[in-house]
Amino acid sequence: MAGDNLTIVVEFILLGFSEVPSLQGFLFCIFLIIYLGVLIGNGLLIVIIKMDPALQTPMYFFLGNFSFLEICYTSVTLPRMLADLWTQKRTISFLACAVQFCFLYMLGMAECLLLAVMAYDRYVAICKPLYYPLIMNQKLCVQLVVASWVIGVPVIIGETYQTFCLNFCGPNKLDHFFCDVAPILKLVCGDSYITEVSVQLSAFAYLLIPSLLILTSYVKIIITILNLPSSSGRTKAFSTCSSHLVVVGLFYGSGSIVYFQPKSSYSRGSLKVFSLFYATVTPMVNPLVYSLRNKDVIAVLKKLLHK
C-alpha cells in the first residue's frame, strides 16, 4: 500500500483454466504430453541433423536452429502453466511477468525472422542452384541465424520497459495463461493508447516484413518450378518447400488472428485458444511436419532405430 486509496500491483494472478476447476488434472496431463512432445520431437530432429553427415547442409542447419528455438519458445510458457495447474497457485510476480513477456516476444520475433531466412534459403536453392554453395556458405548461414536471434532484442526490451512502466493500480487478475500484451494492457490504470499503438506497430512490422520476404521468395520459387522441364523435378522442388509452407501457415495464421484481431471483435475465449495454439501446439506439430514429409530425415531415423 502506498496510501489509503492507492494500491501498487506487485504480482498478477494468471486465471488460465480457473473456470474449469474439475479439469485441472486432465489439462495438466494434456499439456505435459504436449511439452514432452515438443522436447522429444524437436530434440530428436536436432540429434538427427547433427549425427548424419548427409544432413550437414544450410537447409538442415536452419532447421536445427529452428527446432532449438521452438524448445526455448515453449519453455518460456509451458513449465509455468504446468506448475500453475499442479499447485493451483497461479500467482506470478510483477518482475517474473515482465521477464516472461520479454522472452516470449524476443523468441517469437526470432521465429518470424528465421522462417524468412529459411524461405530465402529455398529460393537460392531452387532459383539459383549453381550459385547455391557459393551464396549460402557457412559464414553467411551463421550470420543469418545470429541476426534472427538478436535483431529484435533492443526493440522488445524497449517495448517491455514501456509496457511495465505503466500504472497498474487496480485489479491484478490476468485473464490468460501467460503474460501476453492484450490482457496486461487491460489492467492498466489510465490511458495506454500510445503503448497499444507502439506494440501493434512493432508486431505489424515484425510480422509484415518477414511475411513479405517469404511471399516474394515463394512467388519466385513457384515461377521457377513451373518452368522446369520435367515433372519429377517439379515434384521434388515442391516437396522441399511444402513443409516450410505448412509451418509458416500455422505460425503466421494463428499469430495474426491473435495480434491483428479488431478490438471490437475480441472474444476472451477465442483469444486464449489461438494464443495456446501458436504457443504450444504449433511447436509440437513442426517436427512432425518436417520429418514425415522429408525422405532424408525418415531415412536417418530408420537407421537410428535399426541401430
The angle formed by the CA atoms of residues 304, 237 and 254, to the nearest 5 degrees, is: 80
Length of the chain: 307
pLDDT of residue 49: 87
Asked if residue 1 is part of any domain, the answer here is no
Cell representation of residue 169: 493500480
Structural domain that includes position 128: 11-306
State residue 1's pLDDT score. 39
Answer yes or no: is 3 within a domain.
no
What DSSP line would sit under 17-71, residue for residue? TTT-GGGHHHHHHHHHHHHHHHHHHHHHHHHHHHH-GGG-SHHHHHHHHHHHHHH
pTM of the model: 0.87
Cβ atoms of residues 214 and 119 within 8 Å = yes
* Burial track 163-202 (b if 16+ CB lie within 10 A, e otherwise): bbebebbeebebbbbbbbbbbbeebbeeebeebbeebeeb
Cell numbers placing 233: 523435378
**CATH number of the domain bearing residue 94:** 1.20.1070.10
* pLDDT tens per residue, range 144-160: 999 999 988 998 998 89
Looking at the domain assignment, is residue 2 inside a domain? no
* Inter-residue contact 131 to 124 (CB < 8 Å): yes
The chain-wide mean pLDDT, for the chain, equals 83
4 is a domain residue: no
Report the run of H or E that residue 173 belongs to, with start and end. strand 173-174
Query: Has residue 6 been placed in a domain?
Result: no
* pLDDT, average across residues 82-87: 88
Q: Which residue's C-alpha cell is 486465471? A: 15
* 93 beta partners: 11
Q: Reply yes or no on whether the pLDDT at 228 is more than 90.
A: no
Which of these, 252, 272, 282, 247, lies nearest to 34 by C-alpha position? 282
pLDDT, residue 268, reads 59
pLDDT, tens digit, 9 for 90 and up, residues 235-285:
766 776 777 788 888 777 777 776 666 554 455 566 777 778 778 888 888
Tell me the pLDDT tens digit for each residue of 4-47.
Answer: 445 577 888 888 777 777 888 898 999 999 999 999 989 988 98
87-137 pLDDT per residue, tens: 888 889 989 999 999 999 999 899 989 999 999 998 998 888 889 999 999
* Per-residue model confidence as pLDDT tens digits over 159-201: 899 888 888 877 888 888 888 888 888 888 877 778 778 877 8
CA-to-CA dists, residue 220 to 120, 125, 213, 226, angstroms: 10, 12, 11, 10
Phi, psi of 6 (to 5 degrees): -125, 120
**Distance of alpha carbon 102 from alpha carbon 88, whole angstroms:** 24
| DSSP helix/strand/coil, 137 | coil
Mark out the alpha helices in 52-192 (DSSP H runs). 58-87, 94-127, 132-135, 138-150, 153-164, 181-185
How many H-runs (helices) and E-runs (strands) does the chain carry?
12, 3
pLDDT at 2 over 50: no
Residue 42: the pLDDT is 92
pLDDT confidence band for 298 (50 / 70 / 90): confident
Indicate the pLDDT class of residue 290, thresholds 50, 70 and 90: confident
Number of domains in the chain: 1
Q: Is the dihedral of CA 50, 55, 56, 62 positive or negative?
A: negative
**69 found inside a domain:** yes
CA gap 67, 84 in Å, rounded: 26
